[in-house]
């Protein structure tokens, strides 16, 4: 059968367009810290690899966004971040992206929040944009250390990605469901591992562990530095020495990427056992989908190793 030149052009054009339509790319996702990247990677699976802004070994409280990173953010379809409470250095970029391209996890419905001041719960529906810039009377931003928030955020990520990529919605939902099952299984395992040390107080470098201790029934940790890991004042150090004495703490844990000498100075002369370094941000673990579980397991193992002695 012969085709007219016009019909051949239509047929050729249609054939050429078909692969392009089939190869539509999933959203380009950028995250703030490795723990968030791990959750995003679980949901995206083989469909894409989310980027992470914080360098290996970086401190999320005091990180500075490089100009090249700020420029690359403008090409992102979705920025997934804890929120301005943890990373105020991302606020301007998030504002420029607008609400359609920004997913602050602390603001997601169902997120369990706690305050620094009262060590208590806050409203579950956190209003976006009420960041406290690390005011220690505000919201504790280390919410990824509560595994139930990990569950909530996997579902929020699946919904956000499905909205932007409906063709792969079923894959995102299935990946999130698999991730939820893994977190719930890990949660049960860690509760059993931590149960024998629930009554033993301990000292940490900075106030980042409230979600973890509350969820697993551990005593609130005595923190040398406040929630933004800033250098404490002389008055603060004196107060902490007295607090350590009164708490009956049995172990002191330094933290990766922070100078252990400050903790050693505060605990000098005490009977505290030195524990291994805690890693709440997962700076020493391999990045990828398994990092989130590695953070929680690493904290539990490090605590039990020291607190279970004697």
Average pLDDT over the chain, rounded to whole? 84
Q: Residue 124 gets which letter from DSSP?
A: S
pLDDT of residue 234: 81
Within a 10 A sphere around the Cβ of 108, how many other Cβ atoms? 22
Query: In this model, does residue 43 exceed pLDDT 70?
Result: yes
Q: Which range has the worst mean pLDDT, 110-114, 229-233, 244-248? A: 229-233
Query: In this model, does residue 137 exceed pLDDT 80?
Result: no
pLDDT of residue 214: 97
pLDDT of residue 98: 93
212 Cα distance to chain centroid: 12
What integer is the mean pLDDT of 161-187? 98
> What digits encode the pLDDT tens for the residues 142-151?
999 999 999 9
Closest CA to 161 of 255, 290, 28: 28
Residue with more model confidence, 23 or 239: 239
Closest CA to 213 of 273, 296, 111, 109: 296
> What digits encode the pLDDT tens for the residues 180-209?
999 999 999 999 999 999 999 999 998 999
Within a 10 A sphere around the Cβ of 2, how many other Cβ atoms? 5
Query: In this model, does residue 79 exceed pLDDT 70?
Result: yes
pLDDT of residue 129: 35
Confidence of residue 128 (pLDDT cuts 50, 70, 90): very low
Q: Residue 205 gets which letter from DSSP?
A: E
Confidence of residue 155 (pLDDT cuts 50, 70, 90): very high
Where do we find the tokens 């504790």?
140
Percent of the chain topping pLDDT 90: 60
pLDDT of residue 86: 93
Query: In this model, does residue 278 exceed pLDDT 80?
Result: yes
294-297, Cβ contacts within 8 angstroms, sequence gap of 24 or more = 295/35, 295/144, 295/145, 296/145, 296/147, 296/186, 296/190, 296/212, 297/186, 297/190
What integer is the mean pLDDT of 80-100? 93
Radius of gyration of the chain measured on its C-alpha atoms: 23
> What digits encode the pLDDT tens for the residues 46-65?
999 999 998 776 677 777 78
Question: Do 149 and 86 contact (CB within 8 A), yes or no?
Answer: no
User: pTM of the entire structure?
Assistant: 0.84
Percent of the chain topping pLDDT 70: 83
> Taking the alpha carbons of 188, 176, 286, 88 in that order, is the dihedral positive or negative?
negative
Residue with more model confidence, 286 or 184: 184
pLDDT of residue 121: 46
């Amino acid at each position: 059968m012969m085709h007219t030149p016009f019909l051949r052009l239509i047929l050729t054009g249609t054939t050429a367009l078909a692969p392009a339509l089939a190869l539509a790319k999933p959203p380009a996702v950028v995250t703030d810290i490795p723990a968030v990247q791990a959750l995003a990677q679980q949901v995206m699976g083989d469909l894409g690899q989310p980027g992470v802004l914080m360098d290996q070994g970086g401190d999320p409280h005091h990180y500075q966004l490089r100009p090249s990173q700020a420029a690359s953010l403008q090409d992102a379809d979705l920025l997934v971040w804890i929120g301005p409470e943890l990373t105020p250095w991302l606020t301007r970029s998030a504002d420029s992206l607008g609400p359609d391209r920004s997913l602050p996890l602390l603001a997601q419905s169902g997120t369990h929040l706690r305050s620094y001041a009262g060590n208590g719960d806050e409203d579950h529906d956190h209003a976006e944009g009420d960041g406290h810039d690390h005011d220690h009377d505000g919201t504790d931003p280390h919410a990824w250390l509560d595994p139930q928030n990990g569950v909530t955020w996997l579902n929020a990520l699946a919904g956000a990605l499905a909205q932007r990529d409906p063709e792969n919605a079923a894959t995102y939902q299935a990946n999130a469901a698999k991730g939820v099952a893994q977190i719930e299984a890990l949660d049960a395992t860690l509760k059993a591992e931590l149960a024998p040390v629930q009554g033993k107080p301990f000292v940490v470098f900075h106030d980042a562990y409230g979600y973890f201790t509350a969820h697993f029934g551990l005593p609130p940790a005595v923190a040398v530095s406040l929630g933004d890991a800033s250098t404490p004042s002389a008055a603060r150090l004196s107060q902490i020495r007295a607090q350590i004495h009164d708490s009956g703490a049995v172990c002191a844990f330094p933290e990766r990427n922070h100078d252990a000498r400050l903790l050693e100075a505060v605990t000098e002369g005490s009977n505290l056992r030195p524990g291994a370094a805690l890693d709440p941000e997962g700076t020493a673990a391999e990045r990828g989908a398994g990092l989130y579980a590695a953070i929680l397991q690493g904290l539990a193992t490090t605590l039990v190793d020291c607190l279970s002695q004697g």
